[in-house]
Each structure stands twice: as structure tokens, then as C-alpha cells.
A and B are shown apart, each in its own frame.
Chain A
């Protein structure tokens, strides 16, 4: 009983943040298309349910990469670092997995997609680790190096795609299709998430990626809360002096935690793009992957808690999919993007504001003298 109360209390800030986000979105809808605002709100809130089981499957599909980028940001955050580099790590991971997915066709059966996914994860890991190394040995602020690596990653990937024969689909200006054996399997999910149109099975894009993401979240949860490694990372995150005093190797903790954060984002990239021909491809354009930044919102809403992050990602995917159906109410594409973006970021920022206010009041309480942290 007490446990439930505590739990409710701990997630209530996220719920309040979401409500205020939805409210802010509603205001924009009232402004842009007042007649349909209310029914529009219903559409958004219905999310995937607007189109039955397929829609629900789409929610899971969109949730997959942002669970992982959310974990990436949240994990780094637990260890005291702000990983704004998820975008770059994601795209680098995506390219590595696509490369393997297209070229390493000698890999038999399931091994192909698994290796492709792991190579993507590894590439993201290297990209994240660079940030950690720079911070540990050169004391470079992780935000600055991560932002730079986002752009280096994006332009570098574009360059590599264009200069590659095998990977470039010049007509569509995007990456070529990966081999069928490199696509993440459906794992039976296509038998659950589909709509019947007459005899035709309209199948959702969801695949085993969502299962992998959830399992990874649970592993990260265990890593953080049950292992000595997690203990060290959290100690560093909360108070680096105390962790020094305890004999924790701080540089190692910084490097490893950024490496893991990078690996999570890299895996997000792999799961997104290891898709059948009808699925996603990297477009050669000068845009940072939005999933990376959505990861920040997800981590904030999920309070950096791995399980919370799963639900936060599901919520954001739900709203995003719901927004897609707004077009039927004659909302313009751009307005929809604004509304959805507003809901997501307003939620995240209202939570951020709340944390700042809380911290400020706690500071005030610390002013009582007994509780000042060694800042």
C-alpha cells in the first residue's frame, strides 16, 4: 500500500508535465483550427488506437528507437553527464549497421541481422566513447564535444553514403536497401498488429526491435541498481569527490558510461534502419536525427529511470502517431509537427522547470546549514 503511494508520488510530476504539455498543444489547435480543435485533441490522445491494431503496432515501432536514445540520455545523466550527442551516435550506428546489412551477405540466416545490429551498436559506442575520452583526459565539456560530434557524424555519414557504390541509392538520394536477411525479424508481431482490409492483411511495421529495446532497458536497470559498476557510476554522478574518496576510478567511469550511452544510441540507429525495403532509409540531407533529441525528452519524462523511460517513449510515440491522423481533420502537416513538438517539449520542459524550482527550494532548505552539498 505504502509502496503504491510512493510510486504514484514519484511518477506524478511526469503525469502533471504531460497534462500541461497536452494543454499547450490544445491551445495551438484552438488557434490554428478552432472548429476541429476538440475532435483533434481526441484524435491525438487516441494515438495508435485511431486505426486499430496496426496503429498500436506503429506506436511500438516508433517507440523503439526513442526508448534506446532515452536510455542513452538517461544513463549518462545518472552518471552525471548530459549526453546531447545521441543524434550523432545514432546516425553513425545506423550507417555501420546498414553497411553490414548490405555488404556482409555471406553471414548466414539470423546471424546477419544480429551482427549488423551489433556493429551499429559498436559504432555508436565508439562515437560516445570519444566524448568520454575527451572529457576524462582533456577535460572537454561533454556537451560541446557531443554537439560537434553530432555534426561530424551527420556530414561524415552523408559523405560516406554518397561515395559508396553499394550503399547509395542515387535516385532516391538515400541509402540502398539492406539484404532481406539483415532486416530485424518480425518475431510473430505481424500476427498481432495488423488490420484486415477484406482479405488483405495490412501489417504494422513493428518488429522484434521493440522486444530488444525493452530487454535492454531492463538490463540497464539491473546494471544501474544491482551491480558494483552501477553503484560507482551513480556515486560519480552524485558526488565525484566522494567517489574519488571511495577509490572509484573516475576517468574509467566517465569513459565507460559515455561508451554505454553511445552504444544505446547506436543500437537505436541499427534497429531503425535494419528494415525491409518498404522501411526506413537514411536520407542524405543536412538534418540531425530527431530521435536523438527526442531521447532527451524521453529521459526527462521518464525521470531517467529505465522502466520510466519505456513508458515515456511509448507516450511520445503514441502522441506522434496520433498526430499523424490529424491530417484527416485538415490540419496542415507543419501545424501538426508544431503541435506534437509542443506537447513533447512542453512536457519535458515543464518537468525540467519543476526540477529547477525543486532544486532551488532545496537549496533554500540547505540554507538551514545542515544539508549543504559540496558543490
Chain B
């Protein structure tokens, strides 16, 4: 909430002629746009372009921004548009669906679930480099329509309503995709821990 008020105030300063006020917004949001770019487009080079194009468009369009939404939502709407343009250029696979049936635990999984000790381990202990890579890998193979919802909701912390605004979707669609995306990642992590592929350090 504090940060939203701050953004609003910064935007106002910009609109009153203090163009350097934009630096604060760029400093705060460009890493977030960059992260979305890396994870959506799969390359640092493209992410760099996405960050650049998004922030420049925002700079040029900010005079016309009337604050109907949060600044961050508006910015990510621009990022999403740029992201689609970039991805369209090398689009190969059609949109995939993740049916819920895929995530019903098998009997085997129901058995192994209960010995899954990672469920009770603090996140900070789990988050080592190896898991980080696993997690990124699992995110990377999600169908893009699910991946972007997961990133906006869980990685960027937008609410379901804000995510719906950014992606031009209905809230139930956002929730449904978020859930399937989380289920898919959970399945990967479960396998990872069950099979003991991870190193104990």
C-alpha cells in the first residue's frame, strides 16, 4: 500500500514536469520487468530488450496515464504487450492446456506424500542453488499462458484482480491457471524430493 501511494506521488511529480522522477520508477520496476522477460522469453538478451522497450514506452506514455489502475499494473500491461509481440515472432507451439486430471495424485504418490519431509522444512532452508535451478526449470516448461499468471501472482505479488487486469482475463480464469501452474510445479518438486535426486548438504 505504501509503495502504491509512493508511485502515485512519483507519477504526479513527473506529470508536473520533473522528468527525473521517472528514475525512481525505473529503478524500482525495471528489475521486475527484466525477471518477467527472462522467464517468459527464456533469454537474457530478449529480457533486456523487453525491459528497455517497456520502460521507454512507459516514459513516453506516462503523461497520458490517468491513474485508473496502479502504476505497476499499467506498466506490466505494457510489458505483457511487448512480451506477446516478441514471442509471436518465434512462436512454434500452440497454446497448451493443463487439465486438472493430470494432477490427481496416483496411489503411489498418495503413499509417498506422507513421507515428504519438504512440506515441513522452512523455505529458507529449502531454497539452495540446486532447488532454485529446479524451480526455474519447472517454471520454464509451463505453457506460457499459465506461466505468466504464476509469475504475476506468486513471483510479482499482484492480486488475482490485478493479474486479471494486466492480462485482460476474468478473475476465475486467473485463479484456475494459477492453480494448475502451482500443481504442475508441485508435481515436479515432489518427484525431485521423492526420488532423492537432490543432494543433502
A binds B: no
The interface of chain B, by Cβ under 8 A from chain A, is: none
